[in-house]
Amino acid sequence: MLGVAIPCDGFLFPVRSRRQSCLSEIEDIHLETLPDTDAELLARMGAGDEAASRALMTRKLPRMHALALRMLGNTNDADDVTQEAFLRSWKQARRWQTGRALFDTWLHRVVLNLCYDRLRRRREIATAEPPEQVDPALPADHGMIQSETADRVRMAIHTLPERQRDAIILHVYQELSNIEIARTLDVSVEALESLLSRARRTLRARLEGIES
């Protein structure tokens, strides 16, 4: 799914293949010239500044936790993933190179990869123990604010193909730009548009009753 990948700090960070040519040069330049508002905090965190760690956590924790919770549907798993992602960001802080990627995009990628690992493990357990399988995809718990509409939306999104699901979550709920989402998912902007269009068409059909 992610194409070629190299291990980086214990997780796979995607490397774009030449064939994919994910973003045009213009888009690359655009992303790399965006000011990374986290860079200064990251540098201070790498130097052991606890106040910087706290500030970065305050800035990022709610969004990263929301991403993990929407992906996993379980507060305990979302908590574990978020904590692990922040630990990795601390490890990365000392060797972070400003200009190569936005920290926010990188952190989204880390959280997503950790969520993929959890979802894969759930599928393996569900396959190994079919009698106890209830709904390994998304057991809703108290972390999810429930309403009938919200529950239908959650179900509809989680029955989309994985790439469409991820694109919709990153776009609608994480509010990343199209270029940042393309970077995070390692696809071209054109491919992202296609993923979003197909996802929205499917969702419109599945949620038609609610819409009217």
Partner 1 sequence: MTPGRFAAIVDAYGANSLRWPDAERAAAQAYERAHPDHVNHILQQAGSLDAVLESWEVGGPGSVLSARVLDGTRHANRSFHALRLWLSGAAAAVSLAGGVATGIGMVTQHSAPTASSLYATSIFGTFAELSDAPERDEDPR
How many C-beta atoms surround the C-beta of residue 165 within 10 A? Answer: 18
> Whole-angstrom distance between the N-terminal and C-terminal Cα of the chain?
36
Burial class (CB in 10 A: 0-12, 13-18, 19+), 149: exposed
Contact 191, 202 (CB under 8 A): no
Alpha-carbon distance of 7 to 13, in angstroms, equals 6
Task: Identify which of residues 135 and 175 has a Cβ nearer to partner 1 in the complex.
Answer: 175
Footprint (CB under 8 A) of partner 1, residues 152-181? 153-154, 157, 168, 171-173, 175, 177-179
Q: In whole angstroms, how close is the CB of 15 to partner 1 at the nearest point?
A: 25
Q: Which residue has the tokens 């790498």?
A: 46
**Can residue 189 be called a binding residue for partner 1 (CB under 8 A)?**
yes
Tell me the per-residue interface mask from 31 to 70 with partner 1, x by CB under 8 A, - otherwise: --------------x--x-x--xx--xx--xx--xx--xx
Alpha-carbon distance of 14 to 187, in angstroms, equals 10
Q: In whole angstroms, how close is the CB of 126 to partner 1 at the nearest point?
A: 23
Footprint (CB under 8 A) of partner 1, residues 19-38? 30
Across the strands, what pairs with 201? none
Contact 205, 212 (CB under 8 A): no
Task: Identify which of residues 43 and 189 has a Cβ nearer to partner 1 in the complex.
Answer: 189
**Would you state the structure tokens that stand for residue 52, as one six-digit string?**
């910087």
Alpha-carbon distance of 189 to 27, in angstroms, equals 9
Q: According to CB under 8 A, which one of 82, 105, 164, 174 is a site residue for partner 1?
A: 82
Q: Which residues here bind partner 1, judged by CB under 8 A?
A: 30, 45, 48, 50, 53-54, 57-58, 61-62, 65-66, 69-70, 75, 79, 82-83, 86-87, 90-91, 142-145, 147, 149-150, 153-154, 157, 168, 171-173, 175, 177-179, 189, 192-194, 196-197, 200-201, 203-204, 207, 210-211
